[in-house]
A and B are shown apart, each in its own frame.
Chain A
Amino acid sequence: MTRIALFGGIYNNYLALEAALADARRRGVDAVHCLGDMGAFGPHPDRVFPLLRDHGVLCIQGNYDNSVGNGLGDCQCGYTDPRDNYFARISYSYTFKNTSAVNRDWLRDLPAQRRLLLGRYRVLLCHGSPRRTNEFLWESATSSAFLNYLCDTHQIDVICTTHTGIKWHRPLDNDRHFINVGVLGRPENDGTTNVWYAILSAEPNLTVEFVPVHYDFQRLAAEMREEKLPEEFVETIETGWWTTCLEILPGKERRRGRM
Chain B
Amino acid sequence: MSSNDMDKLFREALSEGQATPRPEAWAHVAASLPKAQPKRRTLWWPYAAAASVALAAVGTWWMQASRQRVPGNQLLVTSNQQPAASKQPATSNQQPATSNQQPATSNQQPATSSQQLATSSKQQVASNQLLVASQSVDFALFDVAFLPRMEADAFEESVPLLKRQVMAGVQIPAPEVPRPRYLQLAANVQNVWTAVQEYREAEVPAEVTVEVHVPAPVLQRINQTKMLASNLNQSWSTLQSRRSR
Question: Is A bound to B?
Answer: no
Using CB atoms and an 8 Å cutoff, list the residues of chain A in contact with chain B.
none
Using CB atoms and an 8 Å cutoff, list the residues of chain B in contact with chain A.
none
